[in-house]
A and B are shown apart, each in its own frame.
Chain A
Amino acid sequence: MESSRTLPVSRRGVLAGGTAAAAATTLPKVAEAQAVRRSATPPAMPVSFEVNGKRLRMNLDTRTTLLDALREHAKLNGTKKGCDHGQCGACTVIVNGARINSCLSLAVQHEGDKVVTIEGLGSPDNLHPMQAAFVKHDGYQCGYCTPGQICSAVAVLDEIKAGIPSHVQADITARPQASGSEMRERMSGNICRCGAYSNIAEAMAEVAGAKA
Chain B
Amino acid sequence: MKPFTYERAKTPADAAAAVMRKPGAKFLAGGTNLLDLMKLEIETPTHLVDVQDLKLDRIEATADGGLRIGALVTNTQAAADERVRRDYGVLTRAIVAGASGQLRNKATTAGNLLQRTRCTYFYDTNMPCNKRKPGSGCSALGGVSRQLGIIGTSDSCIATYPGDMAVAMRVLDATVETVNPQGQARAIPIADFHRLWGDTPHIETALQPGELITAVTLPKPLGGTQIYRKVRDRASYAFALVSVAAVIQPDGTGRFSVGGIAPRPWRVDAADQALQQGSAAASAALLAGARPTEDNKFKTTLVERTLAGVLADSRGMRNAA
Given contacts A104-B35, A104-B106, contact A156 B101 (CB under 8 A): yes
Could you tell me which residues of chain A, from 167 to 205, have a CB within 8 Å of some CB in chain B? 167, 172-173, 185-190
Given contacts A38-B3, A62-B3, A188-B237, contact A105 B76 (CB under 8 A): no
Given contacts A104-B36, A108-B6, A167-B96, contact A185 B236 (CB under 8 A): yes
State whether A172 touches B93 (Cβ < 8 A). Answer: yes
State whether B76 touches A89 (Cβ < 8 A). Answer: no
- Within the assembled complex, what's the spacing in Å between the Cα atoms of A100 and B101? 8
Question: Chain B: residues with CB nearer than 8 A to chain A?
Answer: 1-6, 24, 28, 31-32, 35-36, 39, 46, 48, 50, 52, 76, 79-80, 85-86, 89, 92-93, 96-97, 99-103, 105-106, 235-237
State whether B32 touches A159 (Cβ < 8 A). Answer: no
- Would you mind naming 6 contact pairs between A and B with Cβ atoms under 8 Å apart? A39-B3, A62-B5, A101-B102, A108-B50, A109-B50, A185-B236
Residues of chain B with a CB closer than 8 A to A104's CB: 31-32, 35-36, 103, 106
State whether B103 touches A189 (Cβ < 8 A). Answer: yes
Residues of chain A with a CB closer than 8 A to B105's CB: 98-100
- Within the assembled complex, what's the spacing in Å between the Cα atoms of A65 and B32? 12
A37-B24, A163-B80 given; 14 more Cβ-contact pairs under 8 Å:
A42-B3, A65-B35, A85-B39, A86-B102, A99-B105, A104-B103, A106-B35, A108-B50, A167-B96, A167-B97, A167-B236, A189-B99, A189-B103, A189-B237
Residues of chain A with a CB closer than 8 A to B80's CB: 162-165
Q: What residue in chain A is nearest B98 (Cβ atoms)? A: A167
- Within the assembled complex, what's the spacing in Å between the Cα atoms of A172 and B94? 11
Least Cβ–Cβ distance between B95 and chain A, in angstroms: 9
Q: What residue in chain A is nearest B123 (Cβ atoms)? A: A85
**A209 on the B face (CB < 8 A):** no
- Within the assembled complex, what's the spacing in Å between the Cα atoms of A163 and B237? 20
**A35 on the B face (CB < 8 A):** no
Contact with B76, one of A61, A86, A98 (Cβ below 8 angstroms): A98
State whether B102 touches A99 (Cβ < 8 A). Answer: yes
Least Cβ–Cβ distance between A60 and chain B, in angstroms: 10
State whether A164 touches B76 (Cβ < 8 A). Answer: yes
State whether A106 touches B97 (Cβ < 8 A). Answer: no
State whether A188 touches B31 (Cβ < 8 A). Answer: no
**A70 on the B face (CB < 8 A):** no
Q: What residue in chain B is nearest A164 (Cβ atoms)? A: B80
State whether A189 touches B102 (Cβ < 8 A). Answer: yes
State whether A172 touches B76 (Cβ < 8 A). Answer: no
Given contacts A63-B4, A98-B105, contact A109 B28 (CB under 8 A): yes
Question: Chain A: residues with CB nearer than 8 A to chain B?
Answer: 37-39, 42-43, 45, 61-63, 65, 84-86, 89, 92, 98-101, 104-106, 108-109, 152, 155-156, 159, 162-167, 172-173, 185-190
Q: What residue in chain A is nearest B50 (Cβ atoms)? A: A109
Contact with B6, one of A43, A164, A185 (Cβ below 8 angstroms): A43
Given contacts A101-B102, A189-B103, contact A173 B85 (CB under 8 A): yes
State whether B35 touches A92 (Cβ < 8 A). Answer: no
Residues of chain A with a CB closer than 8 A to B28's CB: 106, 109
Least Cβ–Cβ distance between B189 and chain A, in angstroms: 26
Least Cβ–Cβ distance between B317 and chain A, in angstroms: 10
Least Cβ–Cβ distance between B79 and chain A, in angstroms: 6
Given contacts A164-B79, A165-B96, contact A86 B36 (CB under 8 A): yes
- Within the assembled complex, what's the spacing in Å between the Cα atoms of A188 and B100? 6
Least Cβ–Cβ distance between A23 and chain B, in angstroms: 16
Least Cβ–Cβ distance between B268 and chain A, in angstroms: 27
State whether A155 touches B5 (Cβ < 8 A). Answer: no
State whether B100 touches A189 (Cβ < 8 A). Answer: yes
Least Cβ–Cβ distance between B80 and chain A, in angstroms: 5
Residues of chain B with a CB closer than 8 A to A92's CB: 102
Q: Which of A104, A156, A166 has the most CB of B within 10 A?
A: A104
Least Cβ–Cβ distance between A94 and chain B, in angstroms: 10
Least Cβ–Cβ distance between A119 and chain B, in angstroms: 19
- Within the assembled complex, what's the spacing in Å between the Cα atoms of A190 and B101? 10
Least Cβ–Cβ distance between A159 and chain B, in angstroms: 7
Contact with B100, one of A45, A89, A172 (Cβ below 8 angstroms): A89
Q: What residue in chain B is nearest A110 (Cβ atoms)? A: B52
State whether A173 touches B46 (Cβ < 8 A). Answer: no
